[in-house]
Amino acid sequence: MPELPEVETMVRGIRPFVEGRTIRDLIECPCPCKPLNYRPQFSEIEARVKGQGIKAVRRRAKRAILELENGDALVIEPRMTGLLLLSDPPDPGHLRLEWKLSGKRQFNSLWFWDRRGLGTVTLYENNEYQALIAEGYLGRDALEMLAADWSERVEKSRRAIKVLLLDQSVAAGIGNLYASEILHVSRIHPETPANILSRVQIKRLAEAVKDILETAILHEGSTLSDGTYRNALNQSGGYQNAHKVYDRAGETCLTCGVGVIERIVQTQRSTFFCAKCQRKK
């Protein structure tokens, strides 16, 4: 499930081979599955990006962005199972898109692969792209959040802190997996109402968000047991080996060695935590 670290890894992986090149062609791969979500429709995207240079490759929250010469931006949301690839896909049956790139280099195509097809591809005109990049519709990037920003956001909500961490308008980029890991390291119970967190807890939360996301980026993200997530060269990430709670229900806590990891459901999403390390206040 590509969250901030996985999308950052994709972006870093493709950037050296994509920036500065021109999109010679954008092709929909033959795939028996339902088509991706395009906006506007594919034929219009195709017509508008063909021949455009790729000025920069960027990330905004969990989205990867190809900034084009003319000011438009092609925004790719991998959502659950989408991958940007320079080489072989995990399986050829779910290739969705191919960008044919100008010039002859080590890689001459960029691919979008998506097993479940929940991913989206959206062409933004410059003005709406600027709104996407700005804070507002999406919150500040989670890597840029300071303790003071968290304080301000947290005190306004009675929602459970785990639920708040997933709200992309509060802080952008944290998903279900990293939310559990962050709260574990912060020693905060996931059901704690956001507005009763202490100053000390907020400080720990702010530090854990940066620490976990940055470390996960260094390990090129998390490849779960389904093996879906891969970097741009179709290699597994490594951060799953550092997970302390995610998908470990019933196992002894690796932090305290005493508690047993529990699984609860909050707003229809699994949350994992150790009740001994993360006491309810």
Is residue 114 within 8 Å of 96, Cβ to Cβ? yes
Catalytically annotated residue among 100, 210, 269, 276: 269
Q: Could you give the CA distance from residue 241 to residue 273 in angstroms, rounded to a whole number? A: 17
Among 94, 162, 230, 248, binds DNA (CB under 7 A): 94
Residue 80 interacts with DNA (CB under 7 A)?
Answer: yes
Is residue 39 within 8 Å of 112, Cβ to Cβ? no
Helices (H) and strands (E) in the chain, counts: 7, 13
Catalytic annotation on 40?
no
Catalytic annotation on 2?
yes
Catalytically annotated residue among 3, 8, 77, 181: 3
Query: Which residue lies nearer to DNA by CB, 32 or 257?
Result: 32
Q: Could you give the CA distance from residue 196 to residue 82 in angstroms, rounded to a whole number? A: 37
Q: Could you give the CA distance from residue 202 to residue 152 in angstroms, rounded to a whole number? A: 10
Nearest approach in angstroms of CB 130 to DNA is 15
Among 48, 55, 269, 276, binds DNA (CB under 7 A): 269
Nearest approach in angstroms of CB 22 to DNA is 28
User: Binding-site residue total for DNA (CB under 7 A)?
Assistant: 34
Catalytic annotation on 16?
no
Among 21, 63, 96, 189, binds DNA (CB under 7 A): 63
Catalytically annotated residue among 21, 59, 60, 62: 62
The encoded tokens of residue 245 equal 């709670």
Among 70, 87, 100, 118, binds DNA (CB under 7 A): 118
* Nearest partner of 23 among 85, 62, 67, judged by Cα: 67
Residue 77 interacts with DNA (CB under 7 A)?
Answer: yes
Cα 281 versus chain centre, distance: 31
Residue 225 interacts with DNA (CB under 7 A)?
Answer: yes
Query: Which residue lies nearer to DNA by CB, 21 or 117?
Result: 117
SS3 218: helix
Residue 248 interacts with DNA (CB under 7 A)?
Answer: no
Query: C-alpha angle 24/77/37, rounded to 5°?
Result: 80
The encoded tokens of residue 238 equal 């490594």
Binders of DNA among 150-209, rule CB under 7 A? 156-159, 163, 166, 168, 175-177
Residue 226 interacts with DNA (CB under 7 A)?
Answer: yes
Q: Could you give the CA distance from residue 43 to residue 23 in angstroms, rounded to a whole number? A: 15
Report helix angle 199-218 to 147-154, nearest 10: 120
Catalogue the active-site residues. 2-3, 62, 269
Binding site for DNA (CB under 7 A): 1-3, 33-34, 61-63, 77, 79-80, 93-94, 115-118, 156-159, 163, 166, 168, 175-177, 225-226, 265, 267-270
